[in-house]
Amino acid sequence: MVQPRRKLPPLNALRAFEVSGRRLNFRAAAEELGVSQGAVAQQVRALEDQLGLMLFQRLPRGLALTPQGAAYLADVSRAFDTLNDATGRLLARPDAVTISVTPTVAAKLLIPRLAELKAALPDVELRTVATEALSDFDRDQVDIAVRLTRQPFPASLEARLLFRQELVAVASPHLVKDLILPLTAGALGKLPLLHDTLSPWPLVLQSREKLPGAVFNHTTLALDAALAGQGVALACRAFVAADLEAGRLVQVTDATTTIEPDYFLIRKRSSSQRKAVDAVWHWCAARLSVG
């Protein structure tokens, strides 16, 4: 049965015992810990009382561990060594920054630029959380978030506009290779349409009817289907700019539609913001923004 942690001896008592066990002298232990000899002796006595065991034999010129004390000292020393190693690793590793982004922002904007971020900020360890859910900066231990949202923002938050949702219709060049671009609305309607959960196609095509086509729960999946030649996707230009430039996708109509809300970079305001968070914030503001 695992002993409840609240039943464990106090850390100060364990520390007094561990140092006393190594030095076999309360006075030497007190010097190492920077406290009085009486305080060390009292902590050890309280530990023995709690355990119901004698850990030391008190001798005229020092201490001797009892068999139970020697066995306990070995385990307690290993525990302190583990804590010491863990603290050393924590202090030695790069400063970590957690950013929460939508799955599409992660796949289309952030991940392709991770090598660039690492080159610009080599001492920063970036932790990415891809989710559509709103982040609670304190509860979720998130430093920065990118979200599709609207102004105004609470005074406790700092926000910077990254880009607006300029929607463009895109498809694989193989799908439209026999068609004349740009497509008319009628020609576009004859092609398979790819929908995400927002499904702005009715707005763009000015249709009140339900439009047929495959439906995906993330925009990035609809774009993957478009890249595979499965149909025409409607997506924010920021998410397809690299594929358009590389020729993996083509814009099939000249018409674009800008809708709300917009994509913002957000963080909690703080008078003592960590340097690593500041660095990632400014990098994101410069490299993830469009226009």
Tens-place pLDDT, residues 66-80: 999 999 999 999 999
Q: Which CA distances in Å does 98 have to 38, 114, 142, 208?
A: 46, 14, 5, 42
Backbone angles phi and psi of 124, in degrees to 5: -100, 130
Under 8 Å CB-to-CB from 234, ≥6 apart: which residues? 167, 168, 169, 170, 193, 194, 200, 201, 204
Q: 140 phi and psi, to 5 degrees?
A: -90, 0
pLDDT at 23: 94
* pLDDT value at residue 92: 58
pLDDT band per the 50, 70, 90 thresholds, residue 90: low
Q: What pLDDT does 4 receive?
A: 53
- What pLDDT is stored for residue 5 in this prediction? 54
What is the band of 1 on the pLDDT scale with cuts at 50, 70, 90?
very low
Query: Within a 10 A sphere around the Cβ of 1, how many other Cβ atoms?
Result: 3
Over residues 11-24, the mean pLDDT reads 94
141-194 per-position pLDDT tens digit: 899 999 999 988 889 999 999 999 999 999 999 999 999 999 988 888 889 999
Share of the chain above pLDDT 90, in %: 68
Q: Mean pLDDT score of the chain, rounded to an integer?
A: 89
Tell which wins on pLDDT, 132 or 277: 277
Give the type of residue at 99.
I
Position with higher pLDDT, 242 vs 92: 242
Average confidence (pLDDT) over 94-122: 92
249 burial level (CB within 10 Å; 0-12, 13-18, 19+)? buried
CB 220 within 8 A of CB 290: no
| Domains assigned to the chain | 5-92 (1.10.10.10), 95-163+262-287 (3.40.190.10), 165-259 (3.40.190.10)
Q: Residue with structure tokens 């938050």?
A: 157
Judge contact between 193 and 177, C-beta under 8 A. Answer: no
